Amino acid sequence: MACCYQWMKSPVGKLLLAADESGLRALQFAEGRTPPRVEAEWKHDGKLLQEPMRQLRAFFAGELQRFDLPLAPQGTEFQRRVWDALLEIPFGETMSYGELARRLGNPTASRAVGLANGSNPIAIIIPCHRVIGSNGKLTGYGGGLHNKRWLLDFEHSQLRLAFGTR
């Protein structure tokens, strides 16, 4: 089966989702740093995307903190290691590029980690928005820093609601 795609409206703008039989291959912001490109061979068909879209709607409604989907991001072995490590950053928490590099066993690779993070083809679900600069400041985000800030603020507010703190 060929790759299929679907557009979805969300609180962070229009999103492009793409999947094939192996899983979700892309989730990209329509208004991001690099506008998504629908490949000529992709079919406009949402059948494979029903569950990812359901889970995204649940996430944005505050009903889901961890996605459970087959993911099929295309990248180098190093990129896939970084993306796997991103999946381990808990909802509502952040981590610096340097800390992520240390967790991967290569403390001097923070720039390479940053490049891999920036190449993440499945935004939000592989939570690259949870990675920040070592000084605690927000750094580049393919969906725009305003969306990174929104996602982090949203996650923090969900945790405050869940635990009754301010």
Which one-letter amino acid corresponds to residue 48? L
CB-based contacts of 111: which residues, under 8 Å, 6+ apart?
Answer: 97
Per annotation, catalytic residue among 85, 128, 131, 152? 128
What is the spatial distance between Cα 163 and Cα 70, in angstroms, rounded to a whole number? 30
What's the Cα-to-Cα distance from 59 to each of 15, 51, 53, 71, rounded to whole Å? 14, 12, 10, 17
- The Cα–Cα gap between 126 and 107 comes to 21
Secondary structure (3-state) at 25: strand
What is the identity of the amino acid at 7?
A: W
Q: Give the total residue count for the chain.
A: 166
128 tagged catalytic: yes
Cβ atoms of 45 and 4 within 8 Å: the answer is yes
* Cβ–Cβ < 8 Å for 138, 24: no
Question: Which residues participate in catalysis according to the annotation?
Answer: 128
